[in-house]
Amino acid sequence: MPDTLTPGGTASATPSAAPTRTRASRLRDFWSDFGRSPVALVSLAVIAVLAFVSFGAPWVTPQDPYDMANLDWMDAFLRPGTVGSGGYTHWLGTDNAGRDMLSAIFYGLRTSFVIGLSAGALALMVGITVGLTAAYFGGRTEALLMRIVDLQLSMPAILLALVLVAMLGQGVAQIILALVVAQYAYFARTTHGTATVERGKDYIEAARSTPLPTWRVLLRHLLPNVLPPLIVVATVQVAAAIALEATLSFLGVGLPLTEPSLGSLISNGFKYIHTDRTWLSIYPGLFLMVTVVAINLVGDRVRHVLDPRNQR
Amino acid sequence: MTLLSVSGVSKRFSRKPGILGRALDRITGESSAQTVHALTGIDIAVPRGEVLGLVGESGCGKSTLGRIVSGIYTPSDGSVTLNGKPVARMRGGNVQKLTTAVQMIHQDPFASLDPRMKVGETISEGPRLHGLWSASEAQGKVRDLLEQVGLEGAYANRLPHQFSGGQRQRIAIARALAMEPELLVLDEAVASLDVSIQAQVLNLFMELRQRLNLTALFISHDLSVVRHVCDRVAIMYLGRVVELASAADLYDAPQHPYTKALFASVPTLGTGRAAFQPIEGEIPSPLDPPPGCAFHPRCPFAGPRCRAEVPALKPAPTGVVACHLNDGGTELGKTAA
Amino acid sequence: MNAALDVRGLTTRFDTRGGMVTAVNDVSFAVEPGRIMGLVGESGSGKSVTGFSILGLIDAPGEISAGQVLVDGTDLRTLAPDALRRMRGRRVAMVFQDPMMTLNPVLRVGDQMAMAVRVHDNVSKRAAWDRARAALDTVGIPAAAERLRAYPHQLSGGMRQRVAIATALLHRPSVIIADEPTTALDVSIQGQILAEVRRLADETGTAIVWVTHDLAVVSSLADDICVMYAGRIVESGTAEQVIGAPRHPYTRGLIDSVPSLHPPGQPLPQIPGSTPQLVNLPSGCPFRPRCPRATEICATDPPLSGTDHPALCHHPLTEAPA
């Protein structure tokens, strides 16, 4: 390991003797470094709690807000903290149909997570495929693929998603597809950048001159070495996908109110923003904000820990 | 018997301008396309069992030649054959290597091993994919190879970062040997190792060479290392071979002025202070090589003919030399009969 | 004669994940004006960290924990940050392996050299350029005035390294620390620079610490040699003493493993094992596990024997000179 230096005359030297470490101990090191930031730990805990209550919504909420049989018109527009006809407290109030807002938010959060995670995972796969293909084959393939990616990155993702949803129609699958198309470019860019660097390294040349088949070089050598920076992009993009979906639903082109998401809840509440029934939009908005910020903070910490410049 | 035959090999790397560059060219009326003549007219034959050294400074093309022989590049002109069969060909804009009988060992063992693949798999993936080993015998073969290169068989389950530079270079050698190559290309294979480790790896190479009757191209800038392990040595300068002779002859009686100057400019151990004569001048850029003999701007014996005419490789008292001094003199108009 | 550079008991430690690592362990040496001291060692020996520590260029998690660095009698370690910065470049300068470390790629060579002049001396821009040109002349760069108008990328690697050396020379420092400055260069260019450096040391009286792994280079360049192993200086003396009659078994092993001293094709004497990891050094002499002369006593800290040509060893190869 060479001495590391920063330009401008200041220098720091690191002894070359790195202790030998196993994969398990590196994972331990990762967590101990991660845990050095209380903010990141709290964020991770928040995400865990939100994931638990949303995926466990049928068991932790007092009512299924989308089963019409459970709703009572008499409970409409109850203020937060009021006890309704079901005999339990509506901690975050109820909406115009008498839905318990807390239950609706938990169910909505579940939809948001499902859409964010599946869109993120699919966009990751598409982006890796495009980025790796471009980086490995180079030439015209690379020029063509990366120009399309650049073109997409130059316009706002929300615009592209809006157009796509308008074309595809409403529904969870359509939204996910629109988000994948709008977001894969970020993964493709990052993959392409990292893969271009890795492709130039001797271990790839060694594999090609053995020779190993192209698929083997791509999947067993190049792919594992471009993954780490993508983990960071993935966390940020999951948060972005959740926010994008909420925006689409808020604008009325995403999910209908019968398929709840945080966006459609905010949208519904927005109709009453000029009355005193502000709880209808503020609480789902708060949950959306906390979710997105927590995911981003965790992603930020992961990036910091994985950055070799911050490693001891 | 000739194993490797390199005949008339040239390699040009050209940088074509992009769309913007082409538009600019049209405006300015000049061409921004650049061509590097990395190799020009290389003829080398390596008999089975020989270790041939390729020596030269940066830009001389020794690594490019190593990569062409290894099937990583294809030559722009000429051919490279192993046992009479071509090493690689172009297919669909990509180089396709046609043989597993040439294996390469890179300079930097920290870069040449996949950091995320266990050593055992790194060694066995080539032979497994080419059907040299069955799944059941792979583990035992890996263990044997690791022991052959002086490591413990149990290291197969470790990742490269757990090894020192010397150990990693042994792993790279094991990976190359696993393919049962007929020819090894070692590109500065000991240059990045510590002095004390370099001797270990050189000893390993010499021992394996004896045992397995290896043929090798040994690319290096280190004259003392080359003398120690090579049978014949080719001295290269700016894309051409300027002298080729047996190691003993070359070191005892260098013929080409560049070879002589190179030997004189290298500090050697135990000769005392400042016992070396540096060569004057810079190495010319391969983008813009001087006309005639590429060495003439730095050569104390250069004459008018050296500036005009490229010298050809001609038999000399020892080996072959590309120098007008060896071929009728440096005056214009005089050529050997 | 007074030493231009006198390093006493210098110790630098790094707080790494594996534990506290002493990269430079109680290192002492002195260099007189006009002399070149070769600091030789393999990777992890601490030779480069020693160079950085002399200039106080150690960042967290590293720390210089003990020792004195006297330049013309002034202890750099006791200076305030401002005063230390004034000393750097003026009394002590550094040349790196990669000259682009000190050269700014977007500025003309002349501009940055002139800037380096004006950091310490209040002179006109024109006078600064003149001094830059004079410095380039000193290191044997032809057509110096032209080179000053060039950008770093327009120069060859050897030329850049000469510019870096010329920049280091601008203020006629007492001491130059050069960290592997010719390792990345071609042999014919390395020869040119070694010859220039030798001449400069003789003519300007600058003391030079030449950090390198290459024994052949120091043997033909340096007046004195210190051999480092695992953070310690294990042997020091004049170049003739250390190369001609090494006393430490490690130095002996290093010299023996150089191929040019043996008939071609024969197995080379080799030092077994690998270069040590500083996190878990053996007790006593760190070379013990690789040493052919090691005995039980080597598990205790080795003594420094000899004053003229000292070696840190229980069983030195030749007796301490009287």
Closest by CA to C33, choosing from C74, C5, C70, C75, is C5
Query: Given a cut of 90, is residue B18 above it in pLDDT?
Result: no
Looking at A230-234, A254-258, B47-51, C133-137, which range is the least confident one? A254-258
Q: How confident is the model at residue B61 (pLDDT cuts 50, 70, 90)?
A: very high
Side-chain-side CA neighbours of residue B290 (13 Å): 18
Q: What's the mean pLDDT when you consider all of chain C?
A: 91
Mutate one of C11, C12, C16 to test the A interface: name it (highest A CB count within 10 A).
C16
Count of A-C CB contacts under 8 Å: 66
CA distances to A170, B16, C154, C308 from B24, in Å? 49, 13, 22, 68
Contact A206 B93 (CB under 8 A): no
Residue B303, in any domain of the structure? no
What single string gives the DSSP state of each residue in B276-306? --PPPSPPPPTTSPPSSSTTGGG-TT--HHH
Tell me how crowded residue A185 is: count the other CB atoms within 10 A of its CB.
25
| Spatial contact of C223 and C35, defined as CB atoms under 8 Å apart | yes
Return the residue of B nearest to A202 by Cα. Answer: B112
Helix ranges (DSSP H) in chain A: 23-34, 38-55, 57-60, 101-137, 139-153, 157-168, 172-199, 202-209, 214-216, 223-250, 262-270, 279-306
Q: How confident is the model at residue A65 (pLDDT cuts 50, 70, 90)?
A: confident
Query: Given a cut of 50, is residue A4 above it in pLDDT?
Result: no
| Spatial contact of B234 and B244, defined as CB atoms under 8 Å apart | yes
d(CA C233, CA B199): 23
Tell me how crowded residue B284 is: count the other CB atoms within 10 A of its CB.
18
- Please say whether the dihedral angle defined by the alpha carbons of residues A206, A1, B225 and B169, taken in this order, is positive or negative: negative
Closest partner residue to B202 among C195, C214, C259, by Cβ? C259
pLDDT, tens digit, 9 for 90 and up, residues B282-310: 888 888 889 999 999 999 999 999 999 99
Residue with tokens 């510019």: C163
C219 CB within 8 Å of a chain B CB: yes
d(CA A99, CA B217): 79
Percent of chain B at pLDDT above 70? 95
Q: Which residue has the higher pLDDT, A271 or C237?
A: C237
C49 CB within 8 Å of a chain A CB: yes
Q: pTM higher than 0.90 for the full model?
A: no
Q: Closest approach of chain C CAs to the CA of B190, in angstroms?
A: 12
Contact A10 C49 (CB under 8 A): no
Bridge partners (DSSP) of residue C142 are: none
What confidence score (pLDDT) does residue A117 get?
94
Touching partners of C (3+ C-beta pairs < 8 Å): A, B
Residues within 8 A of A (CB atoms), C 56-115 only: 57-62, 88-89, 96, 101-102, 104
What confidence score (pLDDT) does residue C320 get?
57
Q: How confident is the model at residue C1 (pLDDT cuts 50, 70, 90)?
A: low
What confidence score (pLDDT) does residue A73 get?
74
Tell me: ipTM over 0.90: no
CA triple C286-C288-C289, angle to 5 deg = 105
Closest by CA to B265, choosing from A114, C194, C256, is C194
Residue B50, in any domain of the structure? yes
Query: Given a cut of 90, is residue A280 above it in pLDDT?
Result: no
Query: Given a cut of 70, is residue C248 above it in pLDDT?
Result: yes
Contact A3 C61 (CB under 8 A): no
Contact B270 C244 (CB under 8 A): yes
A223 CB within 8 Å of a chain B CB: no
Contact C52 A16 (CB under 8 A): no
What confidence score (pLDDT) does residue C321 get?
56
d(CA B56, CA B187): 12
By residue count, chain A amounts to 312
**CATH code for A50-310?**
1.10.3720.10
Helix ranges (DSSP H) in C150-248: 157-169, 187-204, 215-221, 239-244
Q: How confident is the model at residue C319 (pLDDT cuts 50, 70, 90)?
A: low
For residue C115, give the H/E element and its range: helix C109-120
Helix ranges (DSSP H) in chain B: 19-28, 62-69, 119-129, 135-148, 165-178, 195-212, 223-229, 247-252, 257-265, 304-308
Contact C220 B275 (CB under 8 A): yes
Strand C224-229 versus strand B232-237 pairing type: unpaired
| Spatial contact of C99 and C185, defined as CB atoms under 8 Å apart | no
What confidence score (pLDDT) does residue B310 get?
94
Contact B270 C219 (CB under 8 A): yes
Query: Angle, to 10 degrees, between the axis of helix A101-137 and the axis of helix A139-153?
Result: 150
Residue B187, in any domain of the structure? yes
Q: Which residues of B touch C158 (CB under 8 A)?
A: 282
Q: Closest approach of chain C CAs to the CA of A249, in angstroms?
A: 48
Q: Which residues of A touch B129 (CB under 8 A)?
A: 212-213, 216
What confidence score (pLDDT) does residue B40 get?
94
Closest partner residue to A203 among B114, B126, B129, by Cβ? B114
Residue B201, in any domain of the structure? yes
Bridge partners (DSSP) of residue B88 are: B97
Q: What's the mean pLDDT when you consider all of chain A?
A: 84
Contact C188 B276 (CB under 8 A): no
Q: Which residues contact C145 (CB under 8 A, 6 or more apart)?
A: C133
Average pLDDT over residues A110-138: 93
Q: Which residues contact C296 (CB under 8 A, 6 or more apart)?
A: none
Contact B115 A207 (CB under 8 A): no
3-state helix, strand, coil in chain C (%, to 5): 35, 25, 40
Residue B219, in any domain of the structure? yes
Closest partner residue to B116 among A206, A213, A224, by Cβ? A224
A23 CB within 8 Å of a chain B CB: yes
d(CA B278, CA A195): 42
Q: Which residues of B touch A208 (CB under 8 A)?
A: 72, 97
Side-chain-side CA neighbours of residue C299 (13 Å): 2
d(CA A310, CA C41): 28
Q: Which residue has the higher pLDDT, C253 or B58?
A: C253
What confidence score (pLDDT) does residue A76 get?
78
Closest by CA to B90, choosing from B76, B106, B105, B110, is B76
Token pair belonging to C189: 């260019």
Residue with tokens 């398929």: A259
Q: What is the dihedral of CA B193, B195, B200, B205, to 10 degrees?
A: 60
Contact C57 A12 (CB under 8 A): yes
Residues within 8 A of C (CB atoms), A 6-45 only: 7, 9-20, 29
Q: Domain residues of chain A, as ranges?
A: 50-310
Strand B77-82 versus strand B94-97 pairing type: unpaired
Contact B266 C216 (CB under 8 A): yes
pLDDT, tens digit, 9 for 90 and up, residues C129-176: 999 999 998 888 888 888 999 999 888 888 899 999 999 989 999 999
Strand C62-71 versus strand A89-90 pairing type: unpaired
Residue B333, in any domain of the structure? no
d(CA C209, CA B222): 24
Mutate one of B64, B102, B116, B132 to test the A interface: name it (highest A CB count within 10 A).
B116
pLDDT, tens digit, 9 for 90 and up, residues C54-94: 999 898 889 999 999 999 999 999 999 899 988 988 899 99
- Please say whether the dihedral angle defined by the alpha carbons of residues B198, B202, B207 and B213, taken in this order, is positive or negative: positive
What confidence score (pLDDT) does residue B132 get?
95
d(CA A100, CA A65): 7
Residue B247, in any domain of the structure? yes
d(CA C227, CA C212): 10
Return the residue of B nearest to A23 by Cα. Answer: B159
Residue B167, in any domain of the structure? no
Q: Which residues of C touch A18 (CB under 8 A)?
A: 16, 18, 277
Query: Given a cut of 80, is residue A21 above it in pLDDT?
Result: no
Closest by CA to B231, choosing from B195, B206, B267, is B206
Long-range contacts made by residues B329-332, C-beta under 8 angstroms, separation at least 24?
B329/B303, B329/B305, B330/B301, B330/B302, B330/B303, B330/B304, B330/B305, B330/B306, B331/B303, B331/B304, B331/B305, B332/B303, B332/B304, B332/B305, B332/B308
Looking at A273-282, B63-72, C218-227, which range is the least confident one? A273-282
Q: Which residues of B touch A23 (CB under 8 A)?
A: 159
Q: Is C203 helix (H, G, I), strand (E, B) or coil?
A: helix
Closest by CA to B286, choosing from B62, B66, B94, B17, is B62
C28 CB within 8 Å of a chain B CB: no
What confidence score (pLDDT) does residue A17 get?
36
Integer distance in angstroms from the first to the last C-alpha of chain A?
Answer: 13
